[in-house]
């Protein structure tokens, strides 16, 4: 069930009305109803996958309680390992089994040997990368003593399966979201207004910007051979905006739907293409994932408490794993490795040019210098996106080689990727509207009713006039 469909709209309206019929003191019944609705929402794709998420919920619920009850560190570690092995094993089997088997076969064949392997027809469960990380963080936090486990199974299950953010995040921490299930919720008109703003803005990003740019991007990547430098550059810029608007659009809608239900989710995107360094980019892009890797991988590896070389190595490992998290393909691993290399280069440069004269640094950090930094970071990010979007390493290398032909001839038919010049013009117009929207308050909390009504009227009008009604899925559903 996609957020950008009539089916979901009807589902949510019925759910929303029924949900708030429960009185504030009956919030546990709200949680039960929310759990049932979340199972219906998730089962809409494939009911077979419900067993996986229910099993994952049961395992981590029991593990959390047993870790807390255990006196010895040995027993605590045993239960934590059960959670780690189960969740990562589940994720590894469904997402990476065939990838590792085929990679092993190719490596052995390259050495001149032959090997017979067998693969399975495995369907990747929607959202498995997100909810396994969410439940894992719960078990780890209980083990660290940072969180007391709940004995309320219904509330815990509702936390794991919370449908607004179930299939593409944000990856919430139990310390932030679970207490909201364990306490009464009261309907707030102010939160509802903000929620509606977030939903309409997120829908605009998805169907007006992302889905329209996808028409061009898909055609460019499907016919790289007939594209030239300028059309390929436009293609990768369009993809950078497509994936940003697609994913941040989902996150905005997830936050907006949650606001309507009395919940507060973390902000997952903070205008990432305005970043002035690669570390700054990752403080703004997919914040819930980057902070998850920081807290549960980078810091346990030693964080900043180790030698300089180990810091660089740990950073590279984290981004390598992050790339693999995104998908079972060498292109994602290269994408992650590139960001790891960018991080290390930045830290080496920062250390080499470090100056105690902070006043001088502030003087030099003027508008033009800041603009140059933003442009440089965006260019590096776009270069890495080529590998992320390509199906194979060979395709990505071919894409780059075609750019380096430096053919800047202008051909409207080619630039519009055979969809006609009108679509190209509408795409640039959609991007312009997106940039203008950055002038709005970042939290979309308008104080005046007139501003609230005008914003939603304009956004809905743009969705009707410029939206691509293809009911396209969200890119991150495949991860």
d(CA 24, CA 5) in angstroms, rounded, equals 30
Instruction: Examine the fold and report which residue of 138, 167, 186 is the final residue of a domain before the chain moves on.
Output: 186
Range of the domain at 134: 21-186
Residue 4 included in any domain = no
Residue 7 included in any domain = no
d(CA 390, CA 399) in angstroms, rounded, equals 9
pLDDT recorded at residue 118: 61
**Residues 430 and 471 placed together within one structural domain of the fold:** yes
**Residues 218 and 161 placed together within one structural domain of the fold:** no
Residue 16 included in any domain = no
Residue 3 included in any domain = no
Instruction: Say if residues 253 and 203 touch (Cβ distance below 8 Å).
Output: yes
**Residues 206 and 120 placed together within one structural domain of the fold:** no
* Helix, strand, coil percentages in the chain from 3-state DSSP, rounded to 5: 70, 0, 30
Residue 12 included in any domain = no
pLDDT recorded at residue 110: 67
**Residues 171 and 312 placed together within one structural domain of the fold:** no
Residue from 155, 160, 118, 119 nearest 136 by CA? 160
Total domains, the chain? 2
- Structure token pair of residue 418: 């055979």
Omega prior to 170 cis, within 30 of 0: yes
**Residues 375 and 410 placed together within one structural domain of the fold:** yes
Residue 9 included in any domain = no
Residue 411 included in any domain = yes
**Residues 164 and 216 placed together within one structural domain of the fold:** no
**Residues 151 and 133 placed together within one structural domain of the fold:** yes
Instruction: Examine the fold and report which residue of 186, 202, 233 is the final residue of a domain before the chain moves on.
Output: 186
Residue 5 included in any domain = no
Q: Does the predicted model carry a pTM greater than 0.85?
A: yes
pLDDT recorded at residue 323: 94
- Structure token pair of residue 156: 């815990």
pLDDT recorded at residue 179: 95
DSSP structural state of residue 365: -
**Residues 68 and 206 placed together within one structural domain of the fold:** no
Active site residue 326: yes
Place of tokens 């570390």: 279
**Averaged pLDDT, groups of 10, the chain, 479 residues long:** 86 95 88 96 87 94 95 94 94 80 69 64 79 94 94 96 91 94 93 95 94 91 90 94 95 96 95 95 96 94 90 95 90 96 93 61 70 95 97 96 88 57 84 90 84 92 86 75
**Residues 43 and 88 placed together within one structural domain of the fold:** yes
Q: How far is CA 455 from the centre of its chain?
A: 26
**Residues 177 and 196 placed together within one structural domain of the fold:** no
Instruction: Examine the fold and report which residue of 130, 162, 186 is the final residue of a domain before the chain moves on.
Output: 186
**Residues 247 and 178 placed together within one structural domain of the fold:** no
Distances (CA, A) of 323 to 18, 69, 333, 363: 41, 36, 5, 37
- Determine which one of 75, 176, 326, 339 is catalytic: 326
**Residues 155 and 286 placed together within one structural domain of the fold:** no
Helices and strands (H, E) in the chain, number of each type: 20, 0
Instruction: Say if residues 128 and 88 touch (Cβ distance below 8 Å).
Output: no
């Amino acid at each position: 069930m996609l957020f950008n469909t009539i089916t979901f709209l009807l589902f949510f309206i019925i759910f929303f009305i029924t949900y708030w019929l429960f009185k504030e003191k009956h919030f546990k019944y709200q949680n039960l109803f929310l759990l049932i609705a979340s199972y219906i929402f998730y089962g809409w794709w494939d009911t077979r996958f419900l067993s996986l998420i229910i099993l994952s919920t049961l395992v981590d619920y029991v593990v959390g309680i047993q870790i807390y009850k255990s006196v010895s560190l040995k027993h605590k570690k045993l239960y934590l390992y059960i959670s780690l092995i189960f969740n990562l094993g589940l994720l590894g089997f469904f997402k990476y089994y065939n990838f590792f088997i085929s990679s092993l076969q190719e490596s052995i064949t390259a050495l001149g040997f032959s090997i017979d392997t067998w693969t399975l027809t495995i369907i990747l469960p929607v959202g498995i990368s997100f909810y396994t990380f969410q439940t894992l963080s719960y078990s780890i936090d209980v083990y660290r003593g940072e969180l007391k486990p709940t004995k309320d199974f219904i509330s815990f299950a509702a936390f794991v399966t919370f449908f607004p953010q179930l299939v593409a995040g944000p990856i919430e921490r139990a310390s932030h979201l679970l207490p909201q299930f364990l306490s009464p919720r009261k309907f707030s008109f102010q939160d509802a207004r903000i929620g509606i703003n977030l939903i309409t803005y997120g829908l605009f990003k998805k169907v007006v910007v992302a889905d329209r740019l996808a028409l061009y991007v898909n055609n460019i990547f499907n016919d790289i051979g007939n594209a030239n430098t300028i059309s390929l550059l436009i293609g990768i810029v369009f993809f950078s905006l497509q994936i940003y608007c697609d994913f941040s659009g989902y996150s905005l809608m997830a936050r907006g739907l949650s606001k309507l239900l009395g919940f507060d989710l973390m902000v997952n995107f903070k205008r990432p293409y305005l970043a002035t360094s690669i570390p700054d980019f990752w403080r703004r892009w997919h914040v819930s994932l980057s902070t998850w890797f920081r807290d549960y991988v980078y810091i346990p590896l030693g964080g900043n408490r180790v030698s300089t070389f180990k810091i660089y190595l740990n950073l590279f490992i984290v981004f390598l794993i992050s790339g693999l998290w995104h998908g079972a393909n060498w292109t994602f691993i290269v994408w992650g490795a590139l960001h790891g290399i960018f991080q290390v280069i930045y830290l080496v440069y920062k250390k080499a040019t470090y100056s105690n004269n902070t006043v001088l640094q502030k003087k030099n950090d003027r508008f033009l210098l800041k603009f140059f930094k933003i442009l440089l970071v965006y260019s590096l990010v776009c270069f890495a996106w080529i590998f992320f979007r390509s199906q194979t390493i060979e395709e990505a290398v071919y894409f780059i080689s075609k750019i380096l032909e430096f053919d800047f001839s202008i051909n409207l038919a080619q630039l519009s990727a055979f969809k006609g010049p009108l679509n190209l013009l509408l795409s640039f117009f959609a991007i312009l509207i997106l940039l203008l929207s950055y002038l709005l308050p970042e939290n979309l909390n308008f104080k005046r009713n007139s501003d609230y009504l005008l914003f939603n009227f304009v956004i809905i009008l743009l969705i009707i006039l410029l939206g691509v009604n293809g009911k396209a899925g969200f890119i991150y559903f495949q991860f």
